[in-house]
Amino acid sequence: MKLVTFCCESKELRPGVLTEAGVVDLVATDPSISSSIREIFVNDELKKASAAAASDSAVLVQNATLRAPISDPQKIVCIGLNYREHAIESGMAKDSEFGPSEPTVFSKFPSAILGPEESINIPAASKEVDYEAELVVVVGRRAKAVSKAEAMDYVAGYTIGNDVSARDWQLKKPGGQWMMGKTFDTFAPIGPAIVTTDEIPNPESLSITLRLNGETMQDSTTGELIFGIAEVVSYLSQVFTLEPGDLIFTGTPSGVGFARKPPVFLKAGDVCEVEIEGLGVLRNPCV
């Protein structure tokens, strides 16, 4: 099931399911369904949503505009340096052969979230805005100190993310300011849909690419992840409780702009497209 958030003429955000026939309006089809994707996870309504989407009386929306599938997560957690080649190109691999020995963790605020086709704002405060194609794990159930073996039971699905990063803030400020560099407004594009785990049986062997103005800049597979999905969910949950709707950006492969010679940074007029096998394409222009 492809869960989306859409808006229509009223501009009100509503949960939906993307089907071959179009977007099914879940609440119009079944008014007992919660009014956001996050609440659908909180209230354990995935089966109800699936039944509504498949029913003969499913209400299809004309001219739906997709927005970020989740706009109000309690947490956005990000894993840095989780692909070996990227850790090396960043000059941050503790060991060039093995990469970091434990996940590097930072966060973004929900105010950074952006939907598909919405514009990434290149802020006046940064001269070094970069892109990062990422698989995003969406938490489906509350997870506290779960083991690696049980961790996948807490994952609802996956979406595409672009971990937009101001490198001058992240790397060149005194002491380093990872979070400041990562959480400018509009720096967390996600979408277009949350694809539930039943449709993605192999989340750790998906092709992942990023195109900048049509040119492929990153081209890898999630099989290259150093810390896999179950390991990351378990690791994080030892420290804080993961809640339904929380987003985990799992890290980016090599090919980012700042590591190129010469470096490439985003500017107004650029277009980023992140594509992950089975999850679609997340496209965002820059302004």
Strand, coil or helix: 74: coil
Task: Please tell me the count of residues contacting Zn ion according to CB under 5 A.
Answer: 3
The minimum distance between CB 20 and Zn ion, in angstroms, equals: 33
Q: Is the dihedral of CA 123, 129, 135, 139 positive or negative?
A: negative
Nearer to Zn ion, 45 or 132 (CB): 132
Per-residue binder mask for Zn ion (CB under 5 A), 117-146, x = binder: ---------------x--------------
Burial class (CB in 10 A: 0-12, 13-18, 19+), 214: exposed
Site for Zn ion in 60-79 (CB under 5 A): none
Q: Which amino acid is present at 247?
A: L
Closest CA to 217 of 166, 193, 178, 252: 252
Neighbours of 40 (CB within 10 A): 23
Q: With contact defined as beta carbons under 8 Å apart, do 155 and 138 qualify?
A: yes
d(CA 270, CA 246): 29
The minimum distance between CB 33 and Zn ion, in angstroms, equals: 33
The minimum distance between CB 250 and Zn ion, in angstroms, equals: 8
Closest CA to 139 of 8, 25, 240: 240
Give the interface segment with Zn ion, choosing from 146-154, 214-222, 244-252, 270-278 (CB under 5 A).
244-252
- 252 is a contact residue toward Zn ion (CB under 5 A): yes
Nearer to Zn ion, 113 or 146 (CB): 113
- 163 is a contact residue toward Zn ion (CB under 5 A): yes
- 186 is a contact residue toward Zn ion (CB under 5 A): no
First to last CA, the chain: 32
Nearer to Zn ion, 156 or 164 (CB): 164
Give the interface segment with Zn ion, choosing from 39-47, 89-97, 122-130, 245-253 (CB under 5 A).
245-253
Contact residues toward Zn ion (CB under 5 A) are 132, 163, 252
